[in-house]
Amino acid sequence: MIPAPAAGADSGVPVRVVHMTSVHDALDTRIFHKECRSLAAEGYAVVLVAPHDRDETLDAVRIRAVPRPASRLERITRTSWNVFRAGVGARGHVYHLHDAELLPFGLLLKVLGKRVIYDAHENAPKDILSKHYLPRFARTVLSGLVDVLERAACACFDGVVAVTPEIARRFAPGKTVVVHNYPLLAEFAPPESSPYENRDHVVVYIGGLSEIRGVREMIRAVGKVEPGPNVELWLAGRFDPADLEDRLARERGWARTVRLGWRSREQIVSALRSARVGLLVLHPVPNHLGSLPIKLFEYMGAGLPVVASRFPAWEAVLGGAGILVDPLDVDAIADALRWLLSHPDEAQRMGRIGREAVVRQYNWEREVGELFMLYRRVAGDGR
C-alpha cells in the first residue's frame, strides 16, 4: 500500500482528512465503511462530519455529529452550515465533500487555503431531473444550475472522485479519478457457507424504496409468482416518501412482502445469505441508465442470481450472472423470478458466475488504490 504522507516533513503529524456530508448518514457504506476506514488504516487522521446521534470514534475514524435535519429545506440550509462549521473546527489539511449542496462551502474552504476533494456519488444534474416532487420547469432549471456549479467549483478544487466513467467525463481529466462503488469483498463469505439449496424462497432488495426504484413493480411481481405463498420479498431500506408504504399496502403482493427497514451492514449481509434472488428493477430515468449501483455488486458478491433492469451498462457487468428484464413490465419480472426459483441449479450457477466476477474484479480492495493515489497527490506534505 502507498504510505500516507506526513503533515510536515519533520513534524511526524499525519495528514488530517475531514470528510463532510449533510445528506448521508455517518455510517454510510461508501463514505464510512470504505473511504474513511481505508484512509484511517492507511495512516491518515480521519474526521467524519455528518448527521449522527453523538460524537464517537469507530475504527480509528473520529465522527463529529451534527443534528439530523427534519426536512429537505433544513438539510440544505442549517445542516449544511453546521457541517461546514464543524468541518472548519476540525482543522483539516484535506477536505473531502460528498454532496452537491456543500459545493459553496468547498469554495469557502479554498479561500481559507484548504485542499478540497469532491466525491461525485451520482450524476447530480440527471438525478434532479428525476425529482418528481419538483415541478418539471423547476427540475430543468435546477439541473442546469447544479451542472454549472459542479463544473465551476470542481475547476477550483484539487481533486474529484467519480463513481463511474460517465460521471468522470464531466470533470477535468487531470484531477479526476474513478473509484467505483464496489463491495468490500471481506464482508461476503463464500456462498458455500450458507448452502443455496437450504434457503427459503426469498427475493431480496436492499436500498432506498421509491417509485422510480421499482418498489411497486417488485411487490406486484412477487404477488404473481408461484410456487405458492411461501415466496417472500424482503425490502431492506426506507420508504421515500414515508407515506408510500401505506399506498403500497393495497398491492396484490403486499402480503408476501417483509419490510425490514434500515439495516446495519451485518444485517444486510445476513439477509443476502438467506435469499435466493437479488432484485434490482430501477426505472429507466436518466440518472439510472449509466449508474452502477452498489447493490448489484453486493448481490453478485453474495452469490445471488440477479433480476435486473435491461440497461446496457448493467448488461456488460452482469453477463451470465442473472436475467435482464424490462423494469416496467411486471409480468416479465415475475417470469424471471419464477424461473430462478423453480430452477435452483441454474440459479446457483448464475450466482457462482457473479461471485467469481466480484472476486476477480468488482471489489473495493482493488479500487481503493486509486483513492490512495489521489490523496498522495492532493495532500502533498499536508500543509
Q: Is the pLDDT of residue 134 over 60?
A: yes
CA 320/CA 342 separation, integer angstroms: 18
- Within a domain: residue 258? yes
Residue 339 belongs to domain spanning: 185-360
Backbone angles phi, psi at 61, to 5 degrees: -100, 125
Q: Are residues 326 and 229 in the same domain?
A: yes
Average pLDDT, the chain: 92
Compute the C-alpha angle 156/145/31, nearest 5°: 60
Q: Are residues 23 and 160 in the same domain?
A: yes
Supply the pLDDT for residue 7: 53
Q: Is 130 left (phi over 0), alpha (psi -120 to 50) or beta?
A: alpha
pLDDT tens string 206-257: 999 999 999 999 999 999 997 666 899 999 999 989 899 999 999 989 999 9
Q: Are residues 310 and 198 in the same domain?
A: yes
Length of the chain: 383
Question: For the purposes of burial, counting CB atoms within 10 Å of the CB of 32, is it exposed (0-12), middle (13-18) or buried (19 or more)?
Answer: buried
Q: Are residues 162 and 245 in the same domain?
A: no
Q: Are residues 140 and 54 in the same domain?
A: yes
pTM of the model: 0.88
Domain count, the chain: 2
Euclidean distance between the first and the last CA atom of the chain, given in angstroms as a whole number: 23
CATH (domain of 43)? 3.40.50.2000
Q: Is the pLDDT of residue 2 over 60?
A: no
Supply the pLDDT for residue 228: 63
Question: What mean pLDDT comes out for the span 31-40?
Answer: 97
